[in-house]
Amino acid sequence: SFPNNTSMMDSNFNLTAWENGSTGANLVKRYPFTIFSILIVTLLVILIIATFLWNLLVLVTILRVKTFHRVPHNLVASMAVSDVMVAALVMPLSLVNELSGRRWRLGRLLCDVWVSFDVLCCTASIWNVTAIALDRYWSITRHLEYTLKTRKKISNVMIALTWLLSAVISLSPLFGWGETYTADDESCQVSQEPSYAIFSTCGAFYLPLSVVLFVYWKIYKAAKFRIGSRKRNAVMPLSGVVQVKEASREPQMVFTARHAAITFQPDGESWREQKERKAALMVGILIGVFVLCWIPFFITELVGPLCSCSVPPTWKSIFLWLGYSNSFFNPLIYTAFNKNYNNAFRNLFSKQR
């Protein structure tokens, strides 16, 4: 995400005293470490470690299991790479920045690197969620045309575009579009230039948000249509004599008796419908968590530079870390709806023993 010059722990403690030569006793007197602040730091450290390990586990599983070396697991791998980078390169320095009261003392170079990776990784993570939603949408609504070969080509294009767009958004400030580091204020944050704020927030969030909402609406309509069609074809009262016929449009056999028609569907069709329903549920939860995690942050990130509105520092930090937490939930949601990953995880750990 895009760092702001705020801290959720400013009111509880500040580590500046260490640099001013204060003793430990004086530091405790001036900046007491409350139970609440220690709890917050502990939770954030656990979040960082869990995000890194969970996404790393997904990556290792995809690399070691040959059946995962295909679509859609390449999209999942791309998402896991972006989320691992968030946990390894972005969140630790963001925590350091929080602990120092949002005063950046690590120099301009590291500030530029940190902000660039922050925007790059979080934007890539968001667009990878969008790519997975699109892949699921096409596999559900166009399963005949969306062959494995076509799916592989489209998924590779989506991965390339995801990282290319993320790089363009993240590297633009390095070429003069606003300033990320201010030495006088010791601040390190994304460019607050209004034009860049519009460009970055729209490219990193509002555009993919529009795509995923449209995709899920189409998936919901397709699922509703299929359920309605299935109900209409299930049982139909008829007054005619006994007859046997084949349906011309649906891949099913219809046997009609004097008073009712009973529809028998092949096992393959039933299995595919169950798979589609499960995929639609997974996409819905993935999109829902993505929206809940990121929308508070990006609203303040867009409105702030445009109207010079002041958001309480504590809330800014909460919104920032809520966005980071999406990188933890992504692999958790996806693997929870995929038995193949659960089996692969068990096999991986059993082999290690």
Looking at residue 328, the DSSP 8-state letter turns out to be: H
Q: Is the pLDDT of residue 16 over 80?
A: no
Yes or no: say if 230 and 250 are a contact pair by the CB < 8 Å rule: no
Residue 321's DSSP bridge partners are none
Closest-CA residue to 345 (of 53, 52, 61, 50): 61
Q: Is the pLDDT of residue 145 over 50?
A: yes
- Each residue's pLDDT tens digit, 239-285: 444 444 444 444 444 444 444 444 444 444 556 677 777 777 888 89
Region of 135 on the Ramachandran plot (φ > 0 left; ψ -120 to 50 alpha; else beta): alpha
Query: Residues 176-198: what's their mean pLDDT?
Result: 84
- Residue among 346, 288, 347, 333 at smallest CA distance from 83: 333
pLDDT of residue 50: 96
- State how far the Cα of 171 lies from the Cα of 304, in Å rounded to an integer: 21
Residue 56: is its pLDDT beyond 70?
yes
CA-to-CA distance for 15 and 3, rounded, in angstroms? 19
Q: Which of 89-98, 123-132, 282-291 has the lowest mean pLDDT?
A: 282-291
Q: Decide which of 260 and 53 is more confident.
A: 53
Q: Which of 40-54, 90-104, 214-228 has the lowest mean pLDDT?
A: 214-228
Give the range among 3-17, 71-85, 110-124, 170-184 with minimum mean pLDDT. Answer: 3-17
Task: Report all structural domains of the chain as residue ranges with CATH numbers, in order of start.
Answer: 35-229+275-341 (1.20.1070.10)
Pick 149 or 273 by higher pLDDT. 149
At residue 232, the pLDDT reads 58
Which are the contacts of 127, defined by CB distance < 8 A and separation ≥ 6?
161, 162, 165, 166, 208
- pLDDT, tens digit, 9 for 90 and up, residues 70-105: 878 899 999 999 999 999 999 999 999 888 888 888
3-state secondary structure 204-268: HHHHHHHHHHHHHHHHHHHHHHHHHHHHHHHEECCCCCCEEEECCCCCCEEEECCCCEEEECCHH
Give the residue carrying structure tokens 């590291």. Answer: 110
